Amino acid sequence: MRIIVIDEDHSLMNLLTKGAGYRLNTKIVLEHFCSPIPALERLRLVCAQVVVVASGPPGVDPVTLIREIKRYCPGTAISVIASVDPIFQCEAAFLAGACGFLTRPISEAEVKIAINSACNGLYTFSALAAQTLMRARMAARTAFTETKRLTEREVKALDLLACFLENKEIADQLKVSIPVLQKVVRSIFHKLGAQNRAAAIWLWKSAA
């Protein structure tokens, strides 16, 4: 497994090689770069399973960097380690393809958990990053609901549709008859401009 660390002040690299760390693991190739440009040049030649980006170097936008990494290695998992100040970039980093976003101060164990999670296709976010993402998603859903003028019942129906439940199960949970549910679903399709359930679910999940 190849791990590339982009870290100007060596703090993350020091954490990863602390004690036994990854330094003694012969199955892991750990490469360190102080700036993004040499790292991107390296990624043109080899693919890494995980790239850890420490945001903060002057003139470096982590979101742009994530997009560039994804251009060269689409399958590479990317974790971002940020200070509290650029936490507003959390949502943008997630949408650009990051699978982890942690905030400093950070421990050796937290960095390694983030890397191991990334290797297994799992997401890792610090509490502050998770709260930021949740607020952003709630705001996006509220705006979407208001823009499309969805009623409270339609919102509940969409949530249940997104769980791929059958009509009877949805009707039971909404405490309505099947004909009433069908009318609600038709209204949802009309408001969202969706031709079918799959399209409506995709639009609803995209909004969140």
pLDDT band for 173, please (50, 70, 90 cuts).
Answer: very high
153 & 86 share domain: no
What distances in angstroms separate CA 98 from CA 46, 152, 166, 198, one per listed residue?
19, 33, 34, 26
CA dist 147 and 16 (Å) reads 47
Which pair of structure tokens corresponds to residue 111? 């960095």
CA dist 61 and 198 (Å) reads 36
**Residue 36 falls inside a structural domain:** yes
14 & 38 share domain: yes
User: For the domain that residue 82 is a member of, what is the CATH number?
Assistant: 3.40.50.2300
How many CB atoms neighbour CB 178 within 10 A?
A: 12
Give residue 180's domain range.
149-207
Place of tokens 């982009």: 6
Among 52, 61, 104, which Cα is nearest to 79's?
A: 52
161 & 193 share domain: yes
Q: What global pTM score does this model have? A: 0.62
pLDDT band for 184, please (50, 70, 90 cuts).
Answer: very high
Question: Angle at the Cα of 138 (from 123 to 85), degrees rounded to 5?
Answer: 65
CA dist 39 and 18 (Å) reads 22
Query: Domain ends where: 88, 106, 133?
Result: 133
55 & 156 share domain: no
93 & 156 share domain: no
Which pair of structure tokens corresponds to residue 60? 């470096």
Encode pLDDT of 118-168 as tens digits: 888 888 888 877 887 788 778 878 888 888 899 999 999 999 998 888 899
User: For the domain that residue 189 is a member of, what is the CATH number?
Assistant: 1.10.10.10
170 & 199 share domain: yes
21 & 116 share domain: yes
The number of distinct structural domains making up the chain is 2
